[in-house]
Structure 1
Amino acid sequence: MYGCTECGWTSTRWVGRCGECQAWGTVVERGAPKLRQVAASAPVDVAVPISQVPTDKARRRRTSISELDRVLGDGLVPGAVVLLAGEPGVGKSTLLLEVAAKWAGSGETTLYISGEESASQVRLRAERTGALADSLYLASENDLGTVLGHIESVRPSLLVIDSIQTVSTAETDGAQGSPSQVREVTGALARVAKRESMAVVIVGHVTKDGAIAGPRTLEHLVDVVLTFEGDRHSGFRMVRATKNRFGPADEVGCFEMSEAGIVEVPDPSGLFVTSRSEPVPGTCITVTMEGRRPLLAEIQALVAPASNQASPRRTTHGVDNSRIAMMLAVLERKAGLPLSKSEVYVSTVGGARVSDPSVDLSVAVAVASAALNHSDPRRLLALGEVGLAGDLRRVPGVERRLAEAARLGFDVAIIPTGSRNVSVKFPRLSGMKVVEFGTLAEVLDYLYFSPSATT
């Protein structure tokens, strides 16, 4: 900083003439301000060796919803602050109201604070979904001081705030939902949660880009960050953990939205696979990994003659458009399939969205099956990443994927060469045949051109 020695005027850069008193040559550089010394104070809790810290107050408590407990790491930790974010209408309030009701049904006192709906509106939704319990206390508040008063009077073991953007405090400047307000309210709730050993679950809004609304420090203040994902046109919902201080951060929970509320889906593989009596050309099953959970997904492809347009149409749904374009180029250059003048449509079943590179081989097999109008009579699945040279690359979690496919009764599994060396155990007892190939051309030759294609 620079300052005038005559009048004290300051500037961020040197100037020859003071901007306040107009004196020449009086602006000089000032030294950086010295940091004030902070006096030491006596700690409230004396530091002890980590091996002597008691863990009785940090025992997990299950929410009675197994899919949510799976994501949280087998339950809620007392004193933990959990942030649940998702698109509007995805079912955040419905899920947390059911969690609060089940928590209260187990004999624990629960407090549900709604800042977006009145108490009567929440009661109507609770009656519709059957989320009523005597130990569940409900209040509609927007002021942080009043919320803290409810906590002192009710003394709950679980607090649900719906949502954090609707709660504000007069101690901080800014409008309701502003970064300063969200930061102050979340910090106050986190302090109360740690002091009272009370689990807190707060609902967070998202922006139009899908990111969690508010300051980035919001995700640092909480212990667990969960995202609630789902398509408006599909009842399938997924809760994904992106941060978890008390458990794995790569787990997912599967739910289905119904008229009666949120229903758990412990085995979601059947939602993304079509049940048919006879094989159909242009389909292939693969196994993707959502966190540590293997999920089956069906890829469907349709190859139609090109229209009069200069460039054939390429339409995708549920898969990455750029990867589909790459697979079509590899199929034409490395496998000899003429697709440059054909319209290609690729989609998943059930509205699933897959971004795992392991779906490359299943996409290529489905497109080749549609182009050749050939179907394999066996229950077949393919998994593996396809390179630009037409080679197949290994994917992680092969043993889990094959175990899931064997459990569902598949006959043949096609995997990249070398996967047997990294996998621990292949499901041989189920009768599923595991075949390894090194290139995409070898896979297509085995499926459609070799004598063993139908055996």
Structure 2
Amino acid sequence: MSSKKNKTSFFCTVCGYQSAKWLGKCPGCEEWESMREAPAETPVERQENPQLLAVIEELGESHGPQPLSTLDDRDQPRRQTGIEEFDRVLGGGVVGGSVILVGGDPGIGKSTLLLQILNQLSRPESPTLYVSGEESPYQSKIRSLRMGIENHHLYFLAAAEIDNIIGHFRKLKPSALVIDSIQTCHCPEIKSPPGSTNQIRQAASHLVKIAKLTRTPIFIIGHVTKDGSIAGPKLLEHMVDTVLYFESDTQYPYRILRAVKNRFGSTNEIGVFEMTGSGLIGVDSPSRIFLNERQVNLAGSLVSATIEGSRPILTELQALVSTAISGGIPRRTTLGIDRNRAALMIAIMEKRLRLNFNNKDIFLNLVGGLKVVEPALDLALIAAVLSSHLDQPVPPTTLVIGEVGLTGETRRINMIDQRVAEAMKFGFKKIILPDGNPTSSPARNRTVIHEIATISELAAALFS
């Protein structure tokens, strides 16, 4: 007699959509070739985790309904990690009971940063625990020695089963926990393999419940897919409190940490780090690193000021205008700048400045691996293209900022005083702004503020 065939279903690895048959395109997120086969869930698989039940029994379930006005948050202040750039991104420190998901490309520094954070948070009365399903204790020891970490209150556990992790969590009672990574975690009550949608969802659910019951911050490392999103169901990002992404250009040693979700702070702040042999070091002045290798008196290069959260950052914008291959389609290539925005500015230049780029390739680059989407770089983009097209350098102490409308008019930008003050700090003598952009900065007394109303006035302001 033949054995009974196990039932299987197909799950989308991006959004968690479930289907009885394989589909080339997921109806949930419209992603192609994201459906994977896995054993279908059964009522047995949904039984509670015994270790989790033990924690609930020890601590009790959450309190019943309470008036919002009577809730007190003073007993759970934010904890400073000692890494200023990381605290800035979180909104001032780690909130007790929060679950923080950290994603990024392989080798970008996720494990390194979180190991440094646990080293800072560990105390004799409050140890910390680093759980890895990817490294052996020997490998982690080598990495910690390289980073100069020798901490008797930072514990390491090589484990992947959630039962085992929660069991050691109950015994040690750490003040912070790192899971490296969620894709390696395995829940025995789920029959599908580690990394599957069911496993990730169940493991994350257990960890979130542990964090809320014990008020312990839990950091979860997540692998990313080839398009840069965290592997697994989109539900994972909804379950956690904060989602952080590491960004980097492989040509630079700098890393940018950005929050895309933060229940306890702003998502506009960024943290800038430099990868060194002893780990990640916070960069106090990002403007300095982005301008560090700038060459002066070169056509197509100039500096503008962008805002990331509450921090002004000076960045170098480069443009190269060259003759296109005869009969070919002119190329428009951008790095760090929105391609559609760049195409829009080029079209405005053709219309309002009577320039012809039909036979020109245009390449734009924001130096340092920074990605900027705010429109305050519009005027600088046009100025860089104009400088390269005319083969005329912009004076090295000139800074350009401003938004540009479809009719070629310049528009006001926000936080102008902070941008001007940052430019003054780095010795810029001339700042080109939109006409009527109010500034109370003392720069008006020590720096030439040149206001222009339309881009037709830009050439004279740049090269005079």
Q: Is this a same-fold pair by TM over 0.5?
A: yes
Alignment counterpart, residue 115 of structure 2, candidates 97, 102, 115? 97
In 2, are the aligned partners of 1:411 and 1:433 still within 8 Å (CA)?
yes
Instruction: Check if 1:426 corresponds to 2:444.
Output: no
Q: Report the identity percentage.
A: 40
In 2, are the aligned partners of 1:402 and 1:427 still within 8 Å (CA)?
no
Write the distance in 1 (CA, Å) between the matches of 2:165 and 2:316: 48
Q: Which amino acid aligns with 2:182?
A: I
Q: Tell me the CA shift for residue 140 of structure 1.
A: 0.4
In 2, are the aligned partners of 1:81 and 1:200 still within 8 Å (CA)?
yes
Number of paired residues?
405
Q: 1:56 to 1:348 in 2, by over 3 A?
A: closer
Q: Deviations over 1:257-287 (max 9, x none)?
A: 1222211111111222255685322211111
Q: What secondary structure does 1:419 align onto?
A: coil
Q: 1:377 to 1:86 in 2, by over 3 A?
A: closer
In 2, are the aligned partners of 1:284 and 1:363 still within 8 Å (CA)?
no
Structure 1 unaligned regions, length at least 5 = 1-41
TM-score, L = length of structure 1: 0.83
Q: Tell me the CA shift for residue 345 of structure 1.
A: 3.0
Write the distance in 2 (CA, Å) between the matches of 1:378 and 1:171: 64
Structure 2 unaligned regions, length at least 5 = 1-59
Q: 1:145 to 1:255 in 2, by over 3 A?
A: same
Q: Which amino acid aligns with 1:436?
A: E
Write the distance in 1 (CA, Å) between the matches of 2:419 and 2:216: 39
> Which moved further from structure 2: 134-143 or 321-330?
321-330
Q: 1:391 to 1:367 in 2, by over 3 A?
A: same
Write the distance in 1 (CA, Å) between the matches of 2:378 and 2:232: 37
Q: How does 1:388-399 map to 2 (within 5 A)?
A: 388-399=406-417
Q: Tell me the CA shift for residue 255 of structure 1.
A: 0.6
Alignment counterpart, residue 208 of structure 1, candidates 222, 226, 229? 226
Q: Which amino acid aligns with 1:257?
A: M
Q: 1:430 to 1:75 in 2, by over 3 A?
A: farther
Write the distance in 2 (CA, Å) between the matches of 1:113 and 1:321: 41
Larger radius of gyration: 1
Q: How does 1:95-244 map to 2 (within 5 A)?
A: 95-104=113-122, 108-244=126-262
Q: 1:177 to 1:305 in 2, by over 3 A?
A: closer
In 1, are the aligned partners of 2:248 and 2:369 still within 8 Å (CA)?
no
In 2, are the aligned partners of 1:105 and 1:133 still within 8 Å (CA)?
no
Alignment counterpart, residue 283 of structure 2, candidates 259, 265, 273? 265
Aligned equivalent of 1:36:
none
Q: Tell me the CA shift for residue 351 of structure 1.
A: 3.0
In 2, are the aligned partners of 1:228 and 1:240 still within 8 Å (CA)?
yes
Q: Tell me the CA shift for residue 156 of structure 1.
A: 0.3
> Which moved further from structure 2: 361-370 or 374-383?
374-383
Q: What secondary structure does 1:58 align onto?
A: coil
Write the distance in 2 (CA, Å) between the matches of 1:107 and 1:402: 47
Q: Deviations over 1:108-148 (max 9, x none)?
A: 31000001111111111111111221100001001001001
In 2, are the aligned partners of 1:238 and 1:254 still within 8 Å (CA)?
yes
Aligned equivalent of 1:286:
304
Q: Which amino acid aligns with 1:62?
A: Q
Q: What secondary structure does 2:363 align onto?
A: strand
> Which moved further from structure 2: 247-256 or 377-386?
377-386
Q: Which amino acid aligns with 1:136?
A: L
Write the distance in 1 (CA, Å) between the matches of 2:71 and 2:171: 30
Q: How does 1:408-423 map to 2 (within 5 A)?
A: 408-420=426-438
Write the distance in 2 (CA, Å) between the matches of 1:216 and 1:371: 45
Q: 1:430 to 1:254 in 2, by over 3 A?
A: farther
Q: 1:275 to 1:165 in 2, by over 3 A?
A: closer
Alignment counterpart, residue 298 of structure 1, candidates 310, 316, 323? 316
In 2, are the aligned partners of 1:378 and 1:412 still within 8 Å (CA)?
no
Q: 1:189 to 1:285 in 2, by over 3 A?
A: same
In 2, are the aligned partners of 1:406 and 1:427 still within 8 Å (CA)?
no
Q: Tell me the CA shift for residue 245 of structure 1.
A: 1.7
Highest relative contact order (Cα 8 Å, sep 6+), 1 or 2? 2
